[in-house]
Structure 1
């Protein structure tokens, strides 16, 4: 050992000699200890052990680490084999691995793993919701909030009562042998099955890169659908415990339903504002900034769960409220840390969720009923299709951008059930549900059908129907500035026309945010330059950073590979071009905010007559200045 270690150093150097002597002495001591231990085996005194085994002391963190490592290795192998990823969704592969692991544990005679409700709702689900909630694109979400609420609220109620009524009729049939099930039990079970799982939806639709409108509709529906499902589930459970339901109970249930659904948003917004105020004072303690974001969000989730409110809504609302202001207060390094840690955390939780779901399936006990299983799967598909088609017919009367037939099909086909329904099934009480094991088996069957059958076939169907995909390329500075310009122009057009739509109210909200919220929640002196100038400056800075780091797709070599670095002359040229463009833009754009259209009607008429004179009746031809 000493010779091998000392070869790393010069054999003639004092360091090499010292290392060699140290290794030799260590080896001699080890030999002496072992010899003495062997020689003393016959003695009665107890010897100190050289090595020991204490697996029970570390088995929990060790097993969690091994599960996480297994999930990462599976994800790595899944991406290495592109043919497999095109045929089998990642969620399906993870469930299959969970089935194999659960079966292996069962063969070894150990207690199989079970995805308990507390483990899922308190540990695995929060990071999966915080990641898309924190980075939620607010503009498309708010523009489609009416459609999302219709699908989440009305659609969930439709699915619950439609399936519950049909399942109750099936249970009353003589051949079903399910006459003991009452109507409330069928309705409560239907509310569980109606839960669209954001975990399953995000896992599938992020792989196929569906376009932004469908992605935001399905994710928003699954997010709000969970809040509606939990509120409805708890209310039906209260009805089941009461026994006789009166009209007053129904009215109180409706009030409780609204309170649970909306109070979670309020709790999350309050914690988001508190987190933003806290981030104002972290100028000299930058290391704690990411921790504040994670802790305040998780405390908002737990606080909502304490009062039986929607924890998912609180978690998402906290992230949405926090991000626009906290990211201005914190440093660039903290933003990068938050971004990649959230991505990593949500990815690990998502993988572990599907693995535990597969392993819990093997645990049992199972109670199979062909009539109830097939009826539930068929009613789920029928309720989803009828609900989407009928709601889309109503929504299309109020939407500018209509949902096409292909979009409706994807929305109906993308309603996936996942671990949320499975965890809610574990909460069913044996007293109210004597056939609880049968319900769990049906829930597992529906989950496997939606994840495997619908999840595996949705990519070929999207290709077959030629559904619009998401654009992977980023918007250029020119495109971003023009979109910002249109956001300011449309409220002005509505003011001139005298018809106030959502652009007008969005502009009001924008000015309230600029004048009050940013002054209270953002630390430091705010810039007074026009928003277009500030936005151009930010975009130019981001593009310059990308060029410097070699990740900008516009600067490529002949082989299509990104340049690793740029020369000093190229950097100076880029900086000079960006600065000249900025100066030209500052000269052309007025410093005043042109969106404040507190102009009287006669002023509007004078502007139009001056800028756009009518031709004919002896009036002069429009000049070049008028055309401009």
Structure 2
């Protein structure tokens, strides 16, 4: 990931990742609750907090799916880094929201007070910023350690894997955001570690991580496929499923338009309407949403099977149907296309022509 582009667009990415995720989670959950109160969904054992909990987990965007699609269609670099960065940080925000609402569900809707709500808001920032700080500290540690490994090149990849994973474990032990910790650990130490270690070690780390990421994603989707044909977990509610698909699509598009309108007042490089269309199609759900819904306690969330069934349908809809629909929006470069493996500085970040 190009660090220069990432930090150059960090404000934009954070707005989409934090405000956008909270917007999607809140609007989806509250809209579903409003429809439920109208009686359109029938009899369900769900309260407001359950809907907000579901809204928080269904707002998780899968960065692996987004990365795969955007690399294939060769979008311009600015749009790529904004959408990929948003999907990357979106997962961390989603997990924090999920934990907050899960704790509220555990307390019970009648027992949640204003003080608990304030604590939830404070914990959101503490967990997010704390996880980021842990990641930066371990990035500094990893950068420092790799300065003294030139005589022991064979164990350099081991240091990279162990110290990076320690940032994740440390955040978990401190009840902070482990995703943010390992993300910012990688972002902050990438440039320095790459300069310190040998080319062979860098190649080992790169391809080992690709193998592990691909394997983990395959295992998650394998479990998702098994769940899709498991009759024991299927609970069908037509209104709930269809309205979830409608709300997540409409509110993501609406949130993108509103936030982009604000950002374009301050950005030097404007985000054009077609960019906003592509960003709206970039809200692909995947492994994170499925993993979170499976972790729900059915003793606390009575309609867990309905949530699982709906999440599976949402994942299949966004990853298959939405990607297929978005293919006509792929860019047609005016000049040389940027290969996905090429260094960033060899190609200008110019805007290609778009075909709808």
Structure 2 length as normaliser, TM-score? Answer: 0.90
The 2-side partners of 1:223 and 1:449 are apart by: 20
In the other structure, the counterpart of 2:227 is: 360
Q: Which residue does the alignment assign to 2:259? A: 391
Which residues of 2 match residues 107-118 of structure 1 at below 5 A? Answer: none
1:375-407 per-position Cα deviation (integer Å, ceiling 9, x unaligned): 111111111111111111111111011100100
Aligned equivalents of 1:334 and 1:288: distance in 2?
8
Residue of structure 2 in register with 1:153 after alignment: 18
Choose from 37, 42, 46 the match for 1:181: 46
Separation in 2, partners of 1:202, 1:293: 23
- Asked whether the 8 Å contact 1:212–1:470 carries over to 2, the reply is no
Q: Which has the higher contact order (CA 8 A, sep 6+)?
A: 2
User: Is the contact between residue 217 and residue 287 of structure 2 (CA under 8 Å) also seen in structure 1?
Assistant: no
Go from structure 1 to structure 2 and tell me whether the alpha carbon gap of 1:291 and 1:380 turns closer, same or farther (over 3 Å shift). Answer: same
Extract unaligned runs of 5+ from structure 2.
350-356
Deviations 1:444-487 (A, max 9, x none): 11111101111222222325xx588952395799x79x99xxxx
- 1:190-589 counterparts in 2 under 5 A? 190-243=55-108, 244-363=111-230, 364-462=232-330, 466=332, 471-472=338-339
Distance 1:240 1:254 in 2: 16
After superposition, the Cα gap between the structure-2 partners of 1:221 and 1:475, relative to the gap in structure 1 and judged at 3 Å, is closer
Cα deviation 1:489-531 (Å, max 9, x = unaligned): xxxxxxxxxxxxxxxxxxxxxxxxxxxxxxxxxxxxxxxxxxx
1:164 to 29, 33, 49: 29
Distance 1:156 1:323 in 2: 27
2:43 alignment partner, SS class: coil
* Residue 2 (structure 2) aligns with: 137
Pick closer, same or farther for the CA change 1:399–1:178 going to 2, 3 Å: farther
State the SS of the aligned residue for 2:148. coil
Q: Shift of the alpha carbon at 1:151?
A: 0.7
Contact in 2 for aligned 1:210/1:470 (Cα 8 Å): no
Work out whether residues 44 and 303 of structure 2, in 8 Å CA contact, stay in contact via their aligned partners in 1.
no
Go from structure 1 to structure 2 and tell me whether the alpha carbon gap of 1:281 and 1:432 turns closer, same or farther (over 3 Å shift): same
1:300 and 1:318 in contact (8 A); partners too = yes
CA distance in 2, matches of 1:369, 1:441: 9
Q: Contact conserved, 1:197 with 1:419, CA < 8 A, in 2?
A: yes
1:291 Cα deviation (Å)?
Answer: 0.9
Matches of residues 64-75 of structure 1 in structure 2 within 5 Å? none
Q: Residue 360 of structure 1: CA displacement?
A: 3.0
Contact 2:281 2:323 in 1 (8 A): no
- Give, in whole Å, the separation in 2 of the partners of 1:273 and 1:318: 8
Q: Distance in 1 between matches of 2:301 and 2:228?
A: 20
Q: 2:217 & 2:306 partners in 1: Cα distance?
A: 26
Question: Which secondary structure does the structure 1 equivalent of 2:129 belong to?
Answer: helix
Residue 328 (structure 1) shift: 2.5
The alpha-carbon distance between structure 1 residues 306 and 147, as it changes in their structure 2 partners (threshold 3 A), is: same
Name the CA distance, whole Å, in 1 between partners of 2:328 and 2:27: 30
What is the CA distance between 1:214 and its match in structure 2?
A: 1.5
Q: Cα distance, 1:209 vs. partner? A: 2.0
Match of 1:117 in 2: none
Q: Distance in 2 between matches of 1:360 and 1:439?
A: 13
Going from structure 1 to structure 2, the CA distance change for 1:467 and 1:182 (only over 3 Å counts) comes to farther
Contact 1:279–1:289, Cα closer than 8 Å, also in 2: yes
1:211, 1:470 within 8 Å by CA — same for their partners in 2? no
Select the structure of larger CA radius of gyration. 1
Q: Encode CA deviations 1:187-209: one digit per residue, 9 max, x unaligned.
A: 11011111111122122222222
Q: What 5-or-longer segments of structure 1 have no aligned partner?
A: 1-135, 484-628
Single out whichever of 235-244 and 412-421 deviates more from structure 2: 235-244
The structural deviation recorded for 1:223 is 1.2
